[in-house]
Structure 1
Amino acid sequence: MRYFLGFDLAVKSKLDIDAWRHKSLPSFEAAVPASNFHITAVFLGQITDRQLEMLSLGLDELTMQPQQFSLDMMGYWSKPKILWLGCTNVNDSVYQLYTSLIEVCKKSTIELPNRDYKPHVTLVRKVSANPPAALLAPNFVINVDKLHLFESVSGKQGVHYPIRQSWEMRKPIRPKGYS
């Protein structure tokens, strides 16, 4: 089974992004269904039951804060042929969380490729060439307060991403007298 850690989007955000896509971009044959919109934190790939158990225990111990993503740019990756919605600027706290997640994965003996983190929502797959610029600039603010373990499941209807486990992200509690 293939897994990844990531953030689900609120239904309203998924519908808003989908409406923007339909207004701003040409029609695509391999458009990702709005129900599949998410932001991947770490792609895990195929992992064993033991690695999954170690990962879960490690994430249970991790303190995570809620995050915010400003999806305000569109991009295209030619090798995987993906059109995506991403962030011009990424908060330092997002990178800190990413680094913490990578450490938990390493302690769980999960081998990951060494690549830069680019938070994004995949809009379309199998795009043969970089499409024209969007008619309307994207501008979505996504707040997340849970990290999820998603499974990538392929079926007759296409791929879908059921959530298999979740972890709350909480704001730090400050003692009285601190601001």
Structure 2
Amino acid sequence: MRLFIGLAPSAPVRKAIATERDRLHAVLGGKPTSTANLHLTLAFIGQASVQTVQSLRQLIAGIDAPRFAIDLDIASDFKHGGIVWLGCSTPSPSLLVLADTLREALADGGVDFDPQPFAAHVTLLRKGTPVAETLGAAIHWPVDAVVLYVSESTSQGVRYRPLYRHALK
């Protein structure tokens, strides 16, 4: 199983992100991320066993973090692969603490994960034209849970399915 841990937007936030994705797609081209797959990754685990899922559930359940909010207010891109994303011009300190806490717990638990530095973003397009802009109005995202996802290949493309959800305080 291919796993990652992230944040899932509520339905209204997902709709607002999808609207921004569609606006950028019309201008920049590329392949849009499906609305159902919109998320913010905290840690990418990659291939893992069924036993690892149980360990990850316990590890995530042990995270003691408060609810917080982030504001997605910039659109930019990663030069490699033409990845166009939404992010925060000023990441929430609570988001950064949550990502650090999670990554420390993974390391302490002996769980391998992608060691690249955390970059708070929601992928909107692949193979899009480069962009750098401030959104007219930020998308306010109340964060209330951490989610363990499995990435599944289907005949319709990749699907990110939640396996476990841990509510924040």
Q: With the length of structure 1 as denominator, give the TM-score of the two structures.
A: 0.84
Structure 1 counterpart SS, 2:136? coil
- The residue number in structure 1 matching 2:114 is 113
Deviation at 1:88, TM superposition (A): 0.4
Matches within 5 A, 1:56-135: 56-127=57-128, 129-131=129-131
Matches within 5 A, 1:1-179: 1-24=1-24, 25-26=26-27, 28-127=29-128, 129-131=129-131, 137=136, 139-170=138-169
How many residues were matched structurally? 168
Are the equivalent residues in 2 in contact too, given 1:55–1:104 (CA < 8 A)? no
- Rounded Cα–Cα distance in structure 2 between residues aligned with 1:59 and 1:31: 30
- Rounded Cα–Cα distance in structure 2 between residues aligned with 1:29 and 1:79: 13
RMSD, aligned CA: 2.0
Q: Which runs of 5+ in 2 are unaligned?
A: none
Q: Which moved more, 1:110-119 or 1:150-159?
A: 110-119
Are the equivalent residues in 1 in contact too, given 2:74–2:133 (CA < 8 A)? no
| 1:107-157 Cα distance to aligned partner (Å, 9 max, x none) | 332222332211111100123x414x5695351011111111011111111
Bigger Cα Rg: 1
Are the equivalent residues in 1 in contact too, given 2:106–2:112 (CA < 8 A)? yes
Are the equivalent residues in 2 in contact too, given 1:75–1:84 (CA < 8 A)? yes
Structure 2 counterpart SS, 1:106? helix
| 1:50-87 Cα distance to aligned partner (Å, 9 max, x none) | 33222222222221211211100011112132100000
Are the equivalent residues in 1 in contact too, given 2:21–2:125 (CA < 8 A)? no
Structure 2 counterpart SS, 1:26? helix
Amino acid at match of 2:12: K
- Rounded Cα–Cα distance in structure 2 between residues aligned with 1:97 and 1:19: 27
Structure 2 counterpart SS, 1:147? strand
Percent identity, please: 24
Are the equivalent residues in 2 in contact too, given 1:150–1:162 (CA < 8 A)? yes
Q: Which runs of 5+ in 1 are unaligned?
A: 171-179
